[in-house]
Amino acid sequence: MVTVMVTACPHALGVAIPLVVAISTAVSARNGLLIRNRTAFEEARKITAIVFDKTGTLTEGAFGVTEIEVLDKNANADQFLATVAALEQQSEHPIAKGIVRAAKDKNLVLPSVENFASMTGQGISGNVGGENWQVVSPSFLKTNGLQIPEAATERTAETVVFVLKNKELAGFIALADKIREDAAEAVRELKNQNIKVFMATGDNPQVAKYIADKLNLDGWFAEVLPHQKVEIIKDLQSKGEFVAMTGDGVNDAPALAEANIGIAVGSGTDVAAETADIILTDSRPSDVVNLVRFGKATYSKMVQNLWWATGYNVFAIPLAAGILHPQFVLSPALGAVLMSVSTVVVALNAQLLHRFLKNQNGKKW
């Protein structure tokens, strides 16, 4: 009876899961994945569809101003840029940072702004020199019955924002962004794992199509407002998909919360990081692939460990109970050794998760 009790001590069972959790959390953190919600991480293996935000997620979000068009030919272009930059100084959108940088490069003095307001996913507004200024998206123009100037529609691969002075079109600024280096590879890998890859962006359809074609996406949605990103997630879920959302902006936060797994890009906003289950600290889209892979590896280690921890009892307990008596009797001391060995096996097996890094074709993962 003593041997049975010693052998059946569920020590290995107790450490089977926590050891894997501790190791996988540490390994993930070291490789660019900050796990805020364990359950979401372990469910990463179930992902069937993933929706990426564009700006700052698939692209670097480091916009450079490529063109400034002022409609009023008598207006001073530098003053125009200074006014817009003054407004944008108070926004944390990547577009805003690009415009402010352009003004700084020209050493422009920025005027003061009053009544600044941000319309998430649409643009910003504020008063400069007693006049109302707005910097907005093409869809904002459309919903407010304003015509998009022809010169702007020609710029198909760029993001264009429009400047309104007292609600009248005053000009536009075109900006270019770069696709993140590993975005294409990430998309390819995700598709290889039978995961559908979509993009949902607040930007205009031309840019969206340009990026979607370049990355060979399964589908894209353009000019979507934050609540519409949520609808896209819900729609996919209702079709039976297990959906992950990856985004960086305030505009992505509702969708990050709605998705089965919310993934925030580290270089993005605090709001996105606060809402997400997992944060990509190195801001690499390919880390999403690692997340799925490592989520799978972690889960299978857990299952293996449960087998090791309980499986050994299948033969050890009958032995301890004297099934082979009188040919073989398991002594309490030997029972204790067996019990300890099962714990050691479980611990060593969990350690193998470190090896997962080296198995990824010599790459970091």
- Nearer of residues 249 and 295 to Mg ion, judged by Cβ: 249
- Nearer of residues 56 and 335 to ligand ADP, judged by Cβ: 56
Q: Which residue among the candidates 53, 177, 252, 287 is catalytic per the annotation? A: 53
Instruction: Give ∠ CA 216-222-224 in degrees, rounded to 5.
Output: 140
- Minimum gap (Å) between residue 55 Cβ and ligand ADP: 3
Site string for ligand ADP, 16-55 (x = CB under 6 A): -------------------------------------xxx
- Minimum gap (Å) between residue 248 Cβ and ligand ADP: 7
- Nearer of residues 246 and 313 to ligand ADP, judged by Cβ: 246
Main-chain phi, psi angles of 44, to 5 degrees? -55, -25
Question: Residue 26 region, left (φ>0) first, then alpha (ψ -120 to 50), else beta?
Answer: alpha
The Cβ-side half-sphere exposure at 51, using a 13 Å CA radius, reads 30
Work out which of 91, 206, 298, 305 binds ligand ADP, going by CB under 6 A.
Answer: 91
Report if residue 269 touches Mg ion, rule: CB under 5 A.
no
Count, residues near Mg ion per rule CB under 5 A: 5
Cα–Cα dist 51/255, whole Å? 9
Cα–Cα dist 73/245, whole Å? 44
- Nearer of residues 202 and 285 to ligand ADP, judged by Cβ: 202
Instruction: Give ∠ CA 90-92-97 in degrees, rounded to 5.
Output: 90
Could you tell me which of 302, 254, 270 has the C-alpha nearest to residue 262?
Answer: 254
- Position of tokens 């993005």? 268
| 239 to 234, 235, 317: CA distances (angstroms) | 9, 7, 48
Site string for ligand ADP, 232-251 (x = CB under 6 A): -----------------x-x
Site string for ligand ADP, 60-89 (x = CB under 6 A): ----------------------------x-
Report if residue 177 touches ligand ADP, rule: CB under 6 A.
no
- Cβ count near 28 (within 10 Å): 22
Residues that bind ligand ADP (CB under 6 A): 53-56, 88, 91, 93, 95-96, 121-124, 135-137, 159, 161, 201-203, 249, 251
Catalytic residues: 53
